[in-house]
Amino acid sequence: MLTVLVADDEKSMREFLEIMLSREGYDVVTTASAEEAIEVVTSRSIDLVITDINMPKATGMAVLKSSMEFDPEVPVIMITAFGSADTAVEAMKMGAYDYITKPFKVDEIKLVVSKALERRRDKEEIRRLKEEVVQSYSLGDLLGRSEQMVNIFRLIKKVAVSNSTVLITGESGTGKELVAKAIHYLSNRKDRPIISINCGAMPEQLLESEMFGYQKGAFTGANADKKGLLEVSDGGTFFFDEVGEAPISVQVKMLRVLQEREFKRVGGVKDIKVDIRVIAATNQNLEKLIEDGLFREDLYYRLNIIPIHIPPLRERREDIPLLVNRFVEKFVVSNAKAGMSISNDAMRLLENYHWRGNVRELENVIERAIVLATGTRIEPENLPDEIKLSGVDIRNGTMTIPDEGVDLEEMLSGLEKEYLTKALEAAGGKKKQAAKLVKLSFRSFRYKLAKYGIGGSSGDGEDE
Ligand SMILES: Nc1ncnc2c1ncn2[C@@H]1O[C@H](COP(=O)(O)OP(=O)(O)OP(=O)(O)O)[C@@H](O)[C@H]1O
Ligand SMILES: [Mg+2]
């Protein structure tokens, strides 16, 4: 329950406000003087102060001052007499939330009070979220301490309570599915299922009947009515994964689901209503797909109500140690290698690698390293060549030949791959520029990219 302090030397005004605010569900404390009010604001937790400006001896301004000093987040509303605009302005300058002029209407004060408290609640909530996130650097199964991830955590908490459609974008392995789950489990739908469907994983007809269900006789083999996953997720969350891969026919039907929460089963005539929250995810550039006529623009706008973009791991390297330690802990347990840790050298390599497969790739590398490590620490030699080599400074001759020998071919191509990727990164994805950085002709640079499958398959036209 929120507590409101009313300070007014006029008894009738105190009583009026007390009755009215109690009726609104607030806990009301009243005082007849500024001195008493100051005592209250500096000794107990108050959510809102309403004070008359004109009181004998100390005035409302003194109450305002004390309250601001004690807790600047508590809104203070001043009551002024008609014609004392100057003092009101002065109070606002000092930090008063608002003022109302006597005589005022009930609705007027109700509105000001509820607005002030709403703002206070928001501020309070944001502060609490910040603290929570900072303490643990995690949200559900998601870990992250980078500014980008902490902001994503905040956004997740905010949107979880709403029913708004969310579109999660990010490269493969950045944690899109984990974000979708976090939203679901923080929402009030958490006791109902989150159902996901991967639009890229099955042929069109199957995808449709899986999603929307079918009517008996809709096609050969449809021997009975069957509920689709949309119906199964009723009351819960529907996770529309790899949405960029959805065939147009499914996109059209999905649009209707988003607009009306309604659809028909395959072969059915009846409209089926569902109460679902939709979350979609993709690692593709939907705007580009729209341009190419592969994705419906209207569906895009319906999905992109609340966009959450997860940046690639290489753009938030502060998260790497946190993730590494979590994965070490996890795989140490599953491989019964208690007490295992990671050496500083190995950690440094992991922190500097470019992680094209993002968190998933990092997780796999750690699992493999734990299996391979013979001692109690993960060392650089337990990491894949590509990563190991990314830290080798050839000019300083820090290379050593391990007892088991090296596969020179593999090493060199790993190194080449590494340099090509770094050059592309440095050139902001512009291939021509990147080619110059590694002193290759554009032609052979492009050939090598294709050979290693780097930088997507399409040649960037504007560059050529
Ligand atoms: N911030 C994170 N904290 C902890 N684990 C993470 C984080 N991000 C991703 N992971 C882990 O990385 C793996 C990949 O995550 P997820 O499946 O959510 O990625 P995705 O973006 O959906 O990838 P794809 O596009 O390939 O489907 C999972 O094992 C997940 O647990
Ligand atoms: Mg995924």
Ligand 1 lined by 176 (C-beta under 6 Å): yes
Counting from 1 in the atom list of ligand 1, the atom nearest the Cα of 138 is: 3
CB contact at 8 A, 116 and 97: yes
130 domain-assigned: no
**65 and 13: one domain?**
yes
> How far does the centroid of ligand 1 lie from the alpha carbon of residue 74, in Å?
41
Ligand 1 lined by 243 (C-beta under 6 Å): no
Residue with CA nearest ligand 1 atom 2: 142
CB contact at 8 A, 422 and 454: no
Q: How far apart are CA 92 and CA 47, in angstroms?
A: 18
**Domain's final residue, options 311, 326, 351:** 311
**249 and 299: one domain?**
yes
Counting from 1 in the atom list of ligand 1, the atom nearest the Cα of 142 is: 3
**Domain's final residue, options 254, 279, 311:** 311
236 pLDDT higher than 50: yes
The model carries a pTM of 0.63
Amino acid identity, residue 78?
M
Q: Which of 8-12, 99-103, 367-371 has the lowest mean pLDDT?
A: 99-103
Q: Residue 248 corresponds to which tokens in the numbers above?
A: 């147009």
327 pLDDT higher than 90: yes
Ligand 1 lined by 278 (C-beta under 6 Å): no
The pLDDT of 173-190, averaged and rounded, is 94
Q: pLDDT at position 299, please?
A: 96
Q: What are phi and psi of 319, to 5 degrees?
A: -80, -20
132 domain-assigned: no
**322 and 431: one domain?**
no
CATH code for position 75: 3.40.50.2300
Ligand 1 pocket test target in 143, 174, 329, 330 with most atoms within 8 Å of CB: 174
Least distant ligand from the CA of 244 = 1
**78 and 216: one domain?**
no
pLDDT band at residue 391 using 50, 70 and 90 as cut-offs? low
Q: Would you give the distance in Å from CA 46 to the centre of its chain?
A: 33
| pLDDT tens readout for residues 294-320 | 999 999 999 999 999 999 999 999 999
Q: pLDDT at position 89, please?
A: 87
372 domain-assigned: yes
Ligand 1 lined by 177 (C-beta under 6 Å): yes
Task: Provide CB contacts within 8 A for 179, sequence distance 6+.
Answer: 142, 152, 156, 168, 281, 308, 310
Q: What are phi and psi of 348, to 5 degrees?
A: -65, -40
Ligand 1 lined by 302 (C-beta under 6 Å): no
Average pLDDT, the chain: 89
> How far does the centroid of ligand 1 lie from the alpha carbon of residue 212, in Å?
27
Ligand 1 pocket test target in 177, 241, 330, 361 with most atoms within 8 Å of CB: 177
Identify which of 182, 184, 172, 188 has the alpha carbon closest to the alpha carbon of residue 142.
Answer: 182
78 domain-assigned: yes
Domain of residue 434, residue span: 424-464
**55 and 159: one domain?**
no
CATH code for position 348: 1.10.8.60
**240 and 344: one domain?**
no
CATH code for position 235: 3.40.50.300
Residue 48, classed as helix, strand or coil, is strand
Residue with CA nearest ligand 1 atom 13: 360
462 pLDDT higher than 50: no
State the distance between the two ends of the chain, measured CA to CA, in whole angstroms.
66
Q: How far apart are CA 302 and CA 31, in angstroms?
A: 53
Ligand 1 lined by 352 (C-beta under 6 Å): no
Ligand 1 pocket test target in 143, 329, 360 with most atoms within 8 Å of CB: 360
Counting from 1 in the atom list of ligand 1, the atom nearest the Cα of 241 is: 27
**306 and 326: one domain?**
no
Q: How far apart are CA 438 and CA 419, in angstroms?
A: 8
Q: How far apart are CA 223 and CA 179, in angstroms?
A: 38
Ligand 1 lined by 144 (C-beta under 6 Å): yes
Q: pLDDT at position 129, please?
A: 67
Which residue carries 């096609």 as its tokens? 219
**62 and 112: one domain?**
yes
Ligand 1 lined by 175 (C-beta under 6 Å): yes
222 pLDDT higher than 90: no
**224 and 280: one domain?**
yes
Counting from 1 in the atom list of ligand 1, the atom nearest the Cα of 143 is: 3
**173 and 99: one domain?**
no
Ligand 1 lined by 156 (C-beta under 6 Å): no
| pLDDT tens readout for residues 252-306 | 999 999 999 999 999 999 999 999 999 999 999 999 999 999 999 999 999 999 9
Report how far apart, in Å, the C-alpha atoms of 352 and of each of 27, 192, 313, 346 are: 56, 41, 10, 10
Q: Which of 133-147, 181-195, 240-254, 336-350 has the lowest mean pLDDT?
A: 133-147
What is the Cα Rg of the chain in Å?
31
| pLDDT tens readout for residues 365-390 | 999 999 999 888 999 999 998 888 77
394 pLDDT higher than 80: no
136 domain-assigned: no
The pLDDT of 141-153, averaged and rounded, is 92
**360 and 444: one domain?**
no
| pLDDT tens readout for residues 45-99 | 899 999 999 888 888 999 999 999 888 889 999 998 877 778 888 899 999 999 9
Ligand 1 lined by 359 (C-beta under 6 Å): yes
**163 and 20: one domain?**
no
- Domains contained in the chain, number: 4
**Domain's final residue, options 269, 284, 311:** 311
Report how far apart, in Å, the C-alpha atoms of 433 and of each of 96, 441, 454, 459 are: 57, 10, 15, 13
461 pLDDT higher than 50: no
